Amino acid sequence: MHSLLIDIARVVNSGYGVQNAVEITSSFVHVVMNCYMIFVHVLEFADPLVNESKRHTTIVLLFLPWTIMSVLRIVSIVYSCEVVVQEASRTEQLVNKLLLLSPRGNSGHHVALKSFAQQMSCSRLSYSAAGLFSIDKPLLTTWVAATTTYLVILVQFGLNDSSHQ
């Protein structure tokens, strides 16, 4: 039964790996672009020489829902993959506990549990985006760090360009 579930999870992973890679990458680009546009308009709004606060507020409010939607898309993909992997890990822990509690010997239950535990330890479940990167909780922190880095670079280039004009 476990090998069947692992095979199904691997088929799902291979079937949706490219789609997940495209979805995560496009969401990353959307968040970076939208956050940059929000920062640009917030920085222009902070400029006392610009007197178009209503227009800037409207533009910020237009970009904000799209940014939130892209972030939620990433979080939902990562969360769903993480829940499945955690449940598989929890099942392995439960089987190992049962193995410790079951009477030793040649009983059929002990042999079956031992075989099941060995099978589970040899085939760990994980999801990836077409083999490019793992889809797990650390992806979120990496994603936030990369987004922040790109935003800092873009804002610095934007400030540098505006100071030359």
Annotated domain spans of the chain: 2-164
Q: Work out the burial of residue 124: count CB atoms within 10 Å of its CB; fewer than 13 is exposed, 13-18 middle, 19 or more buried.
A: exposed
Q: Which of 4, 17, 6 is nearest to 84 (CA)?
A: 6
Q: How confident is the model at residue 7 (pLDDT cuts 50, 70, 90)?
A: confident
The tens digit of pLDDT for each residue in 83-106 reads 988 988 888 888 888 888 777 666
Q: What is the mean pLDDT of residues 127-138?
A: 91
3-state secondary structure (DSSP) of residue 129? coil
Q: What is the pLDDT of residue 21?
A: 94
Higher pLDDT pick, 48 / 91: 91
Question: Mapping DSSP to helix (H, G, I), strand (E, B) and coil, where does residue 27 land?
Answer: helix
Residue 32's pLDDT is what? 94
Cα separation, 21 vs 145, in Å, equals 18
Q: Mean of the per-residue pLDDT values for the chain?
A: 83
Q: How confident is the model at residue 70 (pLDDT cuts 50, 70, 90)?
A: very high
Q: Is 7 exposed, middle or buried (0-12, 13-18, 19+ CB in 10 A)?
A: exposed
**Which residue's entry shows tokens 């972030």?**
71
Compute φ and ψ for 128, nearest 5 degrees: -140, 160
At residue 20, the pLDDT reads 92
Within 8 A by CB and 6+ apart from 84, the residues are 9, 125, 127
Q: Measure the CA angle with vertex 80, ends 75 and 17; round to 5°.
A: 90
Classified as helix, coil or strand, 106 is coil
Is residue 82 pLDDT above 80, yes or no? Answer: yes
